[in-house]
Structure 1
Amino acid sequence: MLAETRPAEPYAALPARRPFLRTVTDSLLRTVQVLAALALAADLLVVAAAVLWRFLFGDSLEWADEVARMLLILVAFLGGAAAVAHGQHVGIRIVRDSVPEGGRRLMEAGGLLVELGVALALAACAVSYAGTAATQVTPFGLPQNLFIYPLVMGGACMAVFIGARLAACRLADIALAALALAALAGAVWLWSAALPGLAPSPLALLLLGFALALGSGIPIAFALSAGALVFLAADGNIDPAVFAQQASSGIDNFVLLAIPFFVLTGLAMEVNGMSVRLIELLRRAVGERRGGLGIVTILAMVLFSGISGSKLADVTAVGTVTIPAMRRSGQDPCEGVALLAASAVMAETIPPCINLIILGYVANLSIGGLFAAGILPAALMAAALILGVVVLSARTRPVPVERSAHSLRHLLWSSAVSLGVIVIIFGGYRSGFATATEIGAFAVVYALAVGALCFRELDWRTAGALFVRSATLAGMILFVVAASQTIAFSLTIDQVPHALAEAMIAVSHGGGAWIFLIVSILLLIVMGAALEGAPALIIFGPLLLPVAQTFGIAPLHYGIVLIIAMGLGLFAPPLGLGLYTSCAVGGVSLEGTVRPIAKYLLLLFGCLVLIAFVPEITMALPRSLGFVK
């Protein structure tokens, strides 16, 4: 799952002397948000209507799949543009924040110039791609360009928002940054022209461009895109339209609609009061005992990860309730944030986690099988964390249970209604009535109905804001998926999958599957920290799974091992992007959480090794449910 670092300065930071630019960006942002929210709402209606039509009339709406995918692309790129305006795209800012003020301003300006270049390149490549597809139609007669125009719109809107943020920088910083970027590009060109035999390969330039972009604090989606663009430019034989084609095809799949639907479900539960009621009931059930709030944090993450699928939504929903409670009781909030982050690692394999859906999509694995395979590993890790909390809290005093005006009867009733979402998700899978995407759509409808009719905390205005927020978050996630696909394509062109497979086999020679599993775990921990969850899985999942099968490792088992390893890297200091989100939610410094989280990560690493070398922990449920023979 994706997490966020300290957000970049949004376009709203424009100086007061530029009121016209501020007015333009404000108006454009409102338009983009409304269009993205409407596209998400329309997608929900299309998918729900298709399922009901199939159920009532035994026939399918054949056009629904194409319309739903077209709307998904619109959500991805317009929602991604809105996330740019709000500064919500994720990136590693450790280096940028550690340099003196002058250097930081220079890196900020340089990063914005790179982001602007990526946005303009996306729009330009999409225009070129649209030109090649001008006369093409889909199997059901829709113009192919309907799937391409959202890229043009999204890229152009991103460019406006980034340009507005760039306008807030000092002109001298912009000029120096532009000069530095031009000098770097010129040096590479001169090297290639003067010493063609020793010139860096397109792959080396891709890796260098990505590393420089990521290390300087550029959001990961733009760093990935910059690396892919550098590769295409250095290769010289690939039509630039391929960049837009790969970005579009990376999310042009009905399965990925589950991402915005489950994000919307989780945020709806937060808005309509379902999450607060569930956490309060857990708090009363755990009672006044040592480590009680820690146990509630773990159990709450179990519940919410089984509903929203988004780690960002889960951490926010749980952390905004439990961390303030820890502060009020005099406990160390850094300890609470560390446990919150560790619980998010545990929850990586609890369905319907978005990373399970993404891995199933890119590696052609059964999503239902991955959902089943992840349950017992998550239960093992949750039990280990709870045991760790109990042992570590043995000398602390119990924390009194805070009570709201809600009666126990009300909490039991409202929690039972809230848990209906989980019944829909797992019941739908078990019955085979619907796919992951269709189940996600009905989970959204249920959450909205409960908020409006049962809790009466969801009106039209709140619902509109909910769809805007969900489209923005989903767009951020999907734009990262699209950018990752451009990198995956570049690596495939350069035959990296074949080389990596041979290298992994050579490293594992003599040790067999055990050594291969250990190397895979270490690789994904590092890549999870550097790349974030979705890109790491999109790039390395399809590369490593075929190699795992040559060692006789079951694909579902190996997929779960990869996801947990990626989660450890995602929340591990100092680079783990997920840890930054947890710190931001808890209002604590990263430095303060390093020591507390170390013990929990070590505990989870031990669980991962056990899961990796005892395949039955992952395979028992899929086998009993018929996902594998």
Structure 2
Amino acid sequence: MTMTAAVPVSGGRHGSITLLLRLSDAIAAILLAADLVVVCASVLLRFCFNAPVEWSDDVARGLMVGSAFFGAASALARGENVGVSFFRDLLPLRLRTLVDAASAVLVVLISFYVAYNAIKLGSLTAGQTTGSGLPLELTFYPMGIGALFMTVFAIDQLCARPLPDIVRGLVAVAVVTGLYLAWDYLSPSSVPSAGTLMLIGFFAMLFGGLPIGFALALAALIFIWVEGALPGVIFAQQMARGIDNFVLLAIPFFILVGYLMEANGMSVRLIELLQRGVGRMRGGLNVVMVASMVLFSGISGSKMADVAAVGSVLIPAARRSKQNPGGAVALLAASAVMAETIPPCINLIILGFVANLSIGGLFVAGLLPAALMALVLIAVSIIFGKRPAEAEDVAPQMPVSGLWSGAIASFGLIFMIFFGFKSGFATATEISAFAVAYALVVGSLVFRELSFKSAAHSFVQAATRAGLVLFIVAAAQSLAFTLTLQQVPHAVGDFMLGLSKTSGVWLFILLAIAVLIVMGSVLEGAAALIIFGPLLLPVAVQLGIDPLHFGVVLVIAMGIGLFAPPLGLGLYGACLIGNVPIEQTVKPIMGYLGLLFLCLLVIAFVPWLSTALPRAFGY
């Protein structure tokens, strides 16, 4: 079982495809860098000269949409799109090959449909302007061109398969389409509704291993095609709308901070200082792992970036100290769950955006719940940890002065993030932009370890990872739009309200936790929150549950699902980073997740843990 895209990367890529990938990387990184300049300049002009730039938000959003789709194209070219491979791996080899080929065909079709309709939407909006007077089509044309790159990469990956497999994949897609058309022609009254076919198609493709972003997009497309009344440009418009928001720009910036910290040496210094301080106590290496995730999560919003930064240093250290690497990876994954509510978490930003909640309030609300879970993990690490003598060979060797410089720089970054929120000097997005600038200055001028080449590579990595996340967000928005058309939120709300009136609010909370754990395991975390957050939060408010408290509960539940075996995609990612088979992590991760689930129940039924700090800080 592996966390891989359903469509593998072409092994013998032609030079033209390699050149196109480099071009896609460069465009995505340049657009991200331009976004950084626009946001930082806008804040400085507003604060220092009281001269706000009216067009800055529109330009920043347009640049983000373009960067996201070029980054998503690069991610597809490298085979980084994740999908649920558990069920696909259970199929016989011949059937699995057929499913993989059909998935590759669908990726080509979806990519092309996005590209065609985004470019068409650009032409239809020609002459229209944004609120600040900028041409509206400048948002859609880069999106369409990025999707065209995606289409070319998808075709390349399809053509890398043996010709018989390609033919079988094309035939399979054509047969399914033909069967539906014949059924609709011969007996239209017996054909399932568009919503039913959408759900069937979504789960069939999801369990078949189709990358999650494409499975979400395909579900929305099935509804649009079957329902027949909506033009294709609506699909592209909804995808753009899903990420065309200044708040979401914090996602690529905070991801970039994480990569820059790794490149400029800040992460290694901070981890080694923690090892020097507590690494020789009982269970010290595990304590260092939890503490490192706490600190890194206070800087980078990307959990997988945090897992990579911490795991790349501490998993080899666990092997050197003869510790079970499966147990170490399990604790690393559990620490990522714990860190889901430590600001500036990407999932908190996404939930705040889709549910119209205060992002600053969510950030503050998540601190005490995260502290509770961290203390539990640290206590377990100490109680069941190894004796100090067994971990002597993992003591760090870097001079103390170098360690403290990294720690001071890291804490300066954390202070900047929290001071920015509390002071009201800047928004979450603007703070994330200055965090990037801070990491660049520290790495290049203070530590002198961040070269232009490594900084450029960090921008490419961040644009690719952010494109991966934002493409899923865009696809989830298109699916959420179709669900709204079918009045699913209203139906779910009525059902949950009726259930709660007869059985109590506690049952609603437990059901919400169960839904997010299950869907967080099946879907990537952002998609689960985008679809179910707006469904459940209005019901919670009607039942008198504090929305910030309930939002924190949803994010933690989603995190448990994301790292839960056998489907949790986050666990597969941690195993890949630690180079450990998932089978070695199942037993220890279930123990850790059991403890975190108990913590979640305490957090869910003791609202004070989530509401005390927001009230104290005026949220």
Q: Specify the TM-score bucket, using the shorter chain as the normaliser.
A: over 0.9
Counterparts of residues 381-396 of structure 1 (less than 5 Å): 381-393=373-385
Counterparts of residues 146-161 of structure 1 (less than 5 Å): 146-161=138-153
Q: Is the 8 A contact 2:267 2:406 kept in 1?
A: no
* Cα gap change, 1:183 to 1:420, in 2 (>3 Å): same
Distance 1:394 1:130 in 2: 61
Are residue 83 (structure 1) and residue 75 (structure 2) matched? yes
Question: Which residue number corresponds to residue 520 of structure 2?
Answer: 528
* Cα gap change, 1:388 to 1:404, in 2 (>3 Å): closer
TM-superposition CA deviations, 1:104-130 (whole Å, max 9, x none):
322221111010010011011113322
Are residue 374 (structure 1) and residue 366 (structure 2) matched? yes
Question: Which residue number corresponds to residue 492 of structure 1?
Answer: 484
Question: Which residue number corresponds to residue 571 of structure 1?
Answer: 563
Question: Which residue number corresponds to residue 343 of structure 1?
Answer: 335
Distance 2:432 2:144 in 1: 28
Displacement after TM superposition at 1:262 (Å): 0.3
Question: Which residue number corresponds to residue 119 of structure 1?
Answer: 111
| More displaced stretch, 371-380 vs 496-505 | 496-505
Distance 2:87 2:510 in 1: 30
Are residue 137 (structure 1) and residue 129 (structure 2) matched? yes
2:394 is paired with a residue of what secondary structure? coil
1:411 to 403, 408, 433: 403
1:399 is paired with a residue of what secondary structure? helix
Distance 1:450 1:401 in 2: 30
Q: What is the TM-score of this pair, normalised by structure 2?
A: 0.98
Q: Is the 8 A contact 2:61 2:245 kept in 1?
A: yes
Q: Is the 8 A contact 1:349 1:560 kept in 2?
A: yes
1:419 is paired with a residue of what secondary structure? helix
Distance 1:449 1:288 in 2: 33
Displacement after TM superposition at 1:217 (Å): 1.0
Q: Is the 8 A contact 2:265 2:406 kept in 1?
A: no
Distance 2:204 2:146 in 1: 25
TM-superposition CA deviations, 1:8-59 (whole Å, max 9, x none):
6654413xxxxxx611111111111111111000000000000000111123
1:5 is paired with a residue of what secondary structure? coil
* Cα gap change, 1:35 to 1:515, in 2 (>3 Å): same
Question: Which residue number corresponds to residue 96 of structure 2?
Answer: 104
Question: Which residue number corresponds to residue 159 of structure 2?
Answer: 167
Question: Which residue number corresponds to residue 622 of structure 1?
Answer: 614
Distance 1:616 1:424 in 2: 27
Letter in 2 for 1:482: A
Counterparts of residues 96-495 of structure 1 (less than 5 Å): 96-393=88-385, 398-400=390-392, 402-495=394-487
* Cα gap change, 1:401 to 1:625, in 2 (>3 Å): farther
Distance 1:387 1:195 in 2: 64
Distance 2:4 2:175 in 1: 29
Letter in 2 for 1:134: A
Displacement after TM superposition at 1:398 (Å): 3.9
TM-superposition CA deviations, 1:156-206 (whole Å, max 9, x none):
111110111111101111111211121112222222333322211111111
> What fraction of aligned residue pairs are identical, expressed as a percent?
53
2:126 is paired with a residue of what secondary structure? coil
2:539 to 518, 537, 547: 547
Displacement after TM superposition at 1:372 (Å): 0.2
Letter in 2 for 1:435: T
Letter in 2 for 1:6: T
Structure 1 unaligned runs (5+)?
15-20
Letter in 1 for 2:190: L
Question: Which residue number corresponds to residue 503 of structure 2?
Answer: 511
Distance 1:61 1:519 in 2: 46
Q: Is the 8 A contact 1:8 1:88 kept in 2?
A: no
Are residue 602 (structure 1) and residue 600 (structure 2) matched? no
Distance 1:457 1:367 in 2: 33
Letter in 2 for 1:63: W
Distance 2:7 2:539 in 1: 43
TM-superposition CA deviations, 1:375-432 (whole Å, max 9, x none):
0000000001111222222689641153444212321222112221101100111111
| More displaced stretch, 133-142 vs 119-128 | 133-142
Structure 2 unaligned runs (5+)?
none
1:5 to 3, 18, 27: 3
Q: Is the 8 A contact 1:276 1:321 kept in 2?
A: yes
Distance 1:405 1:570 in 2: 36
Q: Is the 8 A contact 1:289 1:398 kept in 2?
A: no
Give the total of aligned pairs: 618
Q: Is the 8 A contact 1:48 1:442 kept in 2?
A: yes
Q: Is the 8 A contact 1:288 1:401 kept in 2?
A: no
Q: Is the 8 A contact 1:11 1:25 kept in 2?
A: no
Letter in 1 for 2:581: S
Question: Root-mean-square deviation (CA), in Å?
Answer: 1.4
Q: Is the 8 A contact 1:284 1:401 kept in 2?
A: no
2:282 is paired with a residue of what secondary structure? coil
Distance 2:206 2:301 in 1: 26
Q: What is the TM-score of this pair, normalised by structure 1?
A: 0.96
Q: Is the 8 A contact 2:299 2:344 kept in 1?
A: yes
Q: Is the 8 A contact 2:7 2:103 kept in 1?
A: no
Q: Is the 8 A contact 1:151 1:244 kept in 2?
A: no
